[in-house]
């Protein structure tokens, strides 16, 4: 019984250690969305995860997988630094954009290099909202696997400039209330006071912030408010 408890305790410690190391390595390597990862990032992430799982259950020699995890993380950081400083290294590690379509011509050889067939290419186009290839000027496969599209001038959406309009510049909405709590730091950084927020809520029928799930400020004199409890469906 004592041996079992000892193994459980050691496994718990090595599991916590692996989680802590993964967290530190993730912070060190930087934050990227999955869609922004290069193939190298993806492979390193899977490898570090596999080693972390081994570390969690390695009771005899936990130093070996721990050392491997740290080395993988440091090498990934080193390569990231090199790709930032050297265009040649960046091209070698992350690759470069590849033109798949230009001026009505589909580049078959580039599709082959990208390991894409025509059906997959057409799927990417439809996902991007392009069902008629005649509307496209260019389609480019980026190094992270995302296909970017440039529509023809005659088929792109009209902009305010095209219509000689001068709309007011929108601002990023700042949360002033979340989960019924006033976010004092956000409010003060925006040059407002809690009392102003409470008055604004009151004008919209909310007696206090506790009845508000989310309140956003876009630079105007009114908040966009979402109630804590939505009205009952009719």
> For each of the chain's 234 residues, which pLDDT tens digit applies?
666 666 667 777 777 777 777 777 666 655 554 445 566 666 777 777 787 777 777 667 777 787 887 787 787 778 777 777 777 776 676 677 899 999 989 999 999 988 889 899 999 999 999 999 999 999 999 877 889 999 998 888 877 887 777 777 667 789 999 999 999 999 999 999 999 999 999 999 999 899 999 999 988 888 999 998 876 655
Residues 6+ apart with CB under 8 A from 93: 38, 40, 79, 82, 83
pLDDT at 24: 72
Distance separating alpha carbons of residues 147 and 122, to the nearest angstrom: 11
Cα distances (angstroms) measured from residue 170 to each of 75, 109, 139, 173, 221? 42, 43, 30, 9, 14
175 — alpha (psi -120 to 50), left (phi > 0) or beta? beta
Q: From start to end of the chain, where are the E strands? A: 98-102, 105-106, 136-141, 147-151, 174-178, 181-182, 212-217, 223-227
Using CA atoms in the order 19, 20, 26, 28, what is the torsion angle rounded to 10 degrees? -160
Residues 6+ apart with CB under 8 A from 176: 182, 183, 186, 187, 190, 192, 197, 215, 216, 217, 223
pLDDT at 2: 63
Cα distances (angstroms) measured from residue 3 to each of 6, 9, 90, 177? 5, 10, 51, 52
* CB hemisphere CA count around 103 (13 angstroms): 0
pLDDT at 33: 47
């Amino acid at each position: 019984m004592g041996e079992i408890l000892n193994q459980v305790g050691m496994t718990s410690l090595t599991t916590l250690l692996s989680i802590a190391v993964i967290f530190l390595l993730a912070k060190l390597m930087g934050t990227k969305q999955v869609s922004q990862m290069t193939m190298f990032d993806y492979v390193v992430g899977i490898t570090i995860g596999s080693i972390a799982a081994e570390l969690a259950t390695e009771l005899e020699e936990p130093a070996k997988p721990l050392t491997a995890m740290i080395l993988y993380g440091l090498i990934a950081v080193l390569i990231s630094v090199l790709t930032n400083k050297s265009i040649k290294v960046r091209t070698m590690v992350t690759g470069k954009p590849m033109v798949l379509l230009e001026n009505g011509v589909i580049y078959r050889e580039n599709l082959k290099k990208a390991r894409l067939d025509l059906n997959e290419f057409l799927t990417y186009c439809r996902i991007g909202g392009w069902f008629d290839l005649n509307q496209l000027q260019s389609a480019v496969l980026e190094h992270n696997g995302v296909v970017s599209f440039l529509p023809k001038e005659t088929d792109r959406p009209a902009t305010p400039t095209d219509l000689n309009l001068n709309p007011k510049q929108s601002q990023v909405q700042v949360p002033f209330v979340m989960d019924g709590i006033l976010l004092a730091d956000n409010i003060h950084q925006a040059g407002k006071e809690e009392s102003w927020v409470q008055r604004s809520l009151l004008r919209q029928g909310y007696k206090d912030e506790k009845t508000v799930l989310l309140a956003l400020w876009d630079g105007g004199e009114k908040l966009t408010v979402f109630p804590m409890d939505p009205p009952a469906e009719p």
